[in-house]
Amino acid sequence: MTEIAKAYGKTLYDLAVECESVEQMLDEITTLRQAFEENPQFLTLMNTPNLTKEERVSIVDETFGGKIHIYLLNFLKIIAENGTAHEFIDTARQFRNEYNWENGIETVTVVSAVALGAKQEAQLVEKLSQVTGKTIHLEKKVDPAVIGGIRLQMEGLQMDGTVKNKLDAIRSRLLHTIA
């Protein structure tokens, strides 16, 4: 994450706190982040040098005007105008980090071969909450390549209990034994 994204995210969060719109802006910025991750063309368009600053701002206004918090709309206009729209996804992550820190929440990414069932998800959240002493926010990803088991990522820590990881370890040991 760049220093620009960190500064943008913190500033946007502080502004949300000041105007007492943290929950609304968190929901909106999370929705936008997911949309932009799935459809990166919009952010690419906002960084296109073929468009003038005014055209980029106009596109943002036409697309989001009246649909999101005015401060978030103005922020999108600023990054479109400055040519820093590519920083939005990391800005949204930093906003979430600020929110989580203020509210004792730990974001944990869980990667599994198939979607977790509601019972499995609840058990995982309960166990992680006991271990960390924090409220757990799960970000779930499905990756069939892990074959089975789960991989957890949180605060730079990764715990890999996937079948793929275990098979890779066995393969590595066999290659070193043979060599």
Q: Per this entry, what is the length of the chain? A: 179
108, 168: one domain: yes
Domain boundary, last residue among 70, 100, 130: 100
61, 11: one domain: yes
35, 74: one domain: yes
Q: Which residues pair with 141 in a beta bridge?
A: 111
43, 96: one domain: yes
Residue ranges of alpha helices (H) inside 88-139 are: 88-103, 118-132
Domain boundary, last residue among 100, 134, 157: 100
59-94 in b/e form (b: 16+ CB < 10 A) is bbeeebeeebbebbbebbbebbbeebbbbbbbbbbb
Residue 62's CATH number: 1.10.520.20
Q: Which residues pair with 158 in a beta bridge?
A: 153
Domain boundary, last residue among 52, 80, 100: 100
Tokens found for residue 108: 């944990």
**Residue range of the domain that includes 171:** 104-178
7, 95: one domain: yes
For the stretch 143-158, pLDDT in tens is 999 899 899 998 878 8
Q: How many domains is the chain partitioned into structurally?
A: 2
Per-residue pLDDT of the chain (179 residues; tens, 9 = 90+): 899 999 999 999 999 999 999 999 999 999 999 999 998 998 888 888 889 999 999 999 999 999 999 999 999 999 999 889 999 999 999 999 999 999 999 999 999 999 999 999 999 999 999 988 999 989 899 999 989 989 999 887 888 888 888 888 888 888 888 76
What is residue 179's predicted lDDT score, i.e. its pLDDT?
Answer: 62
